[in-house]
Amino acid sequence: MRRVFLIIRVMAIVVVAGFLHYVLPQHDIARVTGTEIIRTDFSGLNRIFYAQADSGNVGSETRDLRLINTSRRASYLFGLVRGGEQVMVYRNEDTGWIWPPFFKFDSSDLQAQAQDLVSTSAAPQWVVVRHYGWRNRFLTIFPNATAMWVVDGPDVRVIPWFNIIFFIFLALAWGFIRLMWRQFRQRTVDPAVTRANETWDGIEASATTNRGRMSRWLETWRRK
Amino acid sequence: MALVWLALILLVAMTVVYVSVSLYFRSVRKERLENEWDAAPPVNDPAARTAHIAAGMAVYRSSLQRRLIALVYVVPVVIIAAVTYVTNAN
């Protein structure tokens, strides 16, 4: 039984970590090699990995998708190499107002910027690409580029300020919720249980000698 | 239309946060007042204890701390405005 709970817990952690890895912004050092626009017909399988139509437009089954082709430097996650030097294709879509909350409306501007930054391997122009999402060839999904800026060389290290602040906030919020829950238990739940026990014991005392069964049963639910 | 949805979702979520946070701070304040009284009761009179707690809670209701809880409505809007600006500014 304990093993089952362990498996459930590990699965929950994997799902949450995967979700955060998908949604939180990351930075790649890359060289833009070109841009293109392809018509895309989403399937039920990969639809959730794409945003909606540009924020001023109406959505339909099929639409054009802006892509930014790059050659990317090795990227890291917690100091571990995640992918070596490789080509990487980013999509460039408005996230709009709802999800994920990047509030990006300037896809066309970003595309224009990317076209301006195209360079060759002989005379490379390195840029940082801020993006979220995953590249998966079997599902045909691309990370969504949200911003791009020029850097001096390929060995720049970008400090993920947003993620640092986000995780600090998450830890504080978690601690605060625990405090609130403890206060709620101590001040509202426990007195109510005590009152219920007293009432129940009063009823039971006259009917049977088996006193306090309810309170003993409740006792098994309390944290020891 | 999406903006209306965002406003609605935020309003509901922030109201949940606002209600739970204000209940929590009120409960903490009340507990502190009770403990204060119980540690050194000036008179042994339950009515005086109730009055002491009621007076303390009245002070809390008009305090700045309670009013600051309304920031849970303001801060997310400010953050969204800032993120929108930073993402889309050229």
Extents of the domains making up chain B:
2-88
Determine the pLDDT at residue A199: 80
> Average pLDDT, stretch B10-29?
93
Determine the pLDDT at residue A207: 63
Distance CA A199, CA A206 (A): 12
* B87 with A101: Cβ contact below 8 A: no
Share above pLDDT 90 across residues of chain B, in percent, rounded to a whole number: 44
DSSP character at residue A189: I
Q: Which two tokens stand for residue A76?
A: 């890291």
Mean pLDDT of chain A: 86
Per CB-CB distance under 8 Å, the chain B contacts of A179 are 24
Determine the pLDDT at residue A175: 95
Q: Which two tokens stand for residue A151?
A: 């850097």
Per CB-CB distance under 8 Å, the chain B contacts of A58 are none
Q: Å from B1 to nearest chain A CA?
A: 9
Buried b (16+ CB within 10 A) or exposed e, B16-52: eeeebeeebbebebeeebeeebeeeeeeeeeeebeeb
> Average pLDDT, stretch A77-97?
81
Q: How confident is the model at residue B18 (pLDDT cuts 50, 70, 90)?
A: very high
pLDDT in tens, A29-82: 999 999 999 998 888 888 888 888 887 788 788 889 999 999 988 777 766 666
- Chain A positions touching chain B (beta carbons under 8 Å): 55, 96-98, 101-106, 109, 146-147, 179-180, 183-184, 187-188
* A102 with B87: Cβ contact below 8 A: yes
**Segment of A172-176, B29-33, B39-43 carrying the highest mean pLDDT:** A172-176
pLDDT of B46 over the 60 cut: yes
Determine the pLDDT at residue A14: 96
Per CB-CB distance under 8 Å, the chain B contacts of A98 are 2, 5-6, 9
Determine the pLDDT at residue A224: 61
Per CB-CB distance under 8 Å, the chain B contacts of A96 are 2
DSSP character at residue A141: B
Q: Å from B42 to nearest chain A CA?
A: 24
Determine the pLDDT at residue A212: 60
Higher pLDDT, A101 or B90: A101
CA geometry: angle at A170 spanning A166 and A176, to 5°?
A: 145
pLDDT of A83 over the 70 cut: no
Quote ipTM for the complex: 0.81
pLDDT of A209 over the 60 cut: no
Mean pLDDT of chain B: 89
- Pick the residue of B12, B19, B21, B24 with the most A CBs within 10 A to test the interface with A by mutation: B24
Angstrom distances, CA of residue A25 to CA of A22, A126, A193, B4, B17: 8, 19, 46, 25, 26
**What is chain A's Cα-based Rg?**
27
* A109 with B87: Cβ contact below 8 A: no
The three-state secondary structure class of A60 is coil
pTM over cut 0.80: no
pLDDT of B32 over the 70 cut: yes
* B31 with A180: Cβ contact below 8 A: no
Q: How confident is the model at residue A121 (pLDDT cuts 50, 70, 90)?
A: confident
pLDDT in tens, A132-157: 999 999 999 999 999 999 998 888 88
The H or E element that residue A83 is part of is: strand A80-83
* Cβ partners under 8 Å of residue A210, min gap 6: A204
Q: Which of A55, A105, A183 sits opposite B24 (nearest CB)?
A: A183
- Chain B positions touching chain A (beta carbons under 8 Å): 2-3, 5-6, 9, 20-21, 24, 27-28, 30-31, 80, 83-84, 87-88, 90
Determine the pLDDT at residue A205: 67
pLDDT of A166 over the 90 cut: yes
Handedness of CA A94, A97, A103, A109 (dihedral sign): positive
